[in-house]
Amino acid sequence: MILKKLFSFFFLTLVCLVNAQETKQKDTITDKNLKFNYKQLIIPAGLIGYGIIALDNHELLGINTQIRTEVYEHIDEKVSIDDFSQYAPAATVYILNNVGVDGKNDLKDRSIILGTSYLMVAATVTGLKHITKVERPDASSFNSFPSGHTATAFAGAEFMWQEYKDVSVWYGISGYLVASGTGMYRMFNNRHWLTDVAAGAGIGILSTKVAYWLFPYTNKLFSKKNKNVESVGILPFYNGKQTGIGMALKIN
């Protein structure tokens, strides 16, 4: 029963995200970036708020424990696909552009946007982990809240949505499906609570939205004459203990 509720939670979240985003297509402006609209804060703020409120709410913490118990009883083997799937939506944007499916922004612009988003994700997640010191479900450490993997995945999913929603909504939907799967696997692998995943999703979505809103300003930092990005390389890495993503820009 708990597993069904868990899948229902993520499915309904995905549907709400897609519906909310579809109503905001008209908010784009001529320079291809999002116009600020407070309504776009509702979903990520709700997800983050749920996670924060649950830190001191016995009923919500009880749901965390019930889900963890249910998952622990039904999942016999851990699958580390979430270490790599967290980067899949963002990497897909570059792959699609390389095979000729153009998104909203060119190479330099989308790289600045994604880099800004990832910086905000890293700063927010790291800061909250140090402040909250929530113990992980597997009792391995006290840095469970929020889920960094989930935040990275949803930042990439929102990035993919914004770049390709005008080409086909299915690109954005697929990105959010992968991000949702990443969050589920973090719980299935006994690494995070539901509240960690919910907050991580909200942080990821919000970081990318803010990155688009800030782009007219961040772009000025990279707008020097005679400097154009010729190529970009993105490569996830895994050294046995840590995972990450590297980005290299070639500038002439």
| 102, burial (CB in 10 Å: exposed 0-12, middle 13-18, buried 19+) | exposed
Write phi, then psi, for 244 (nearest 5 degrees). -170, -175
Q: How confident is the model at residue 78 (pLDDT cuts 50, 70, 90)?
A: confident
* Longest Cα separation, the chain: 60
Q: Is the peptide bond before 146 cis (omega within 30 degrees of 0)?
A: yes
* DSSP class of 67: H
Q: Are 90 and 159 within 8 A, CB to CB?
A: yes
232 against 29, higher pLDDT: 232
Q: How confident is the model at residue 251 (pLDDT cuts 50, 70, 90)?
A: low
3-state secondary structure of 136: coil
Q: What is the pLDDT of residues 149-190, one digit of tens each?
A: 999 999 999 999 999 999 999 999 999 999 999 999 999 999
| Least confident segment among 22-26, 156-160, 194-198, 217-221 | 22-26
Question: What is the chain's mean pLDDT, rounded?
Answer: 82
pLDDT in tens, 2-18: 444 444 444 445 545 44
Kindly report the length of the chain: 252
User: Lowest mean pLDDT: which of 26-30, 46-50, 214-218?
Assistant: 26-30
Q: How confident is the model at residue 123 (pLDDT cuts 50, 70, 90)?
A: very high
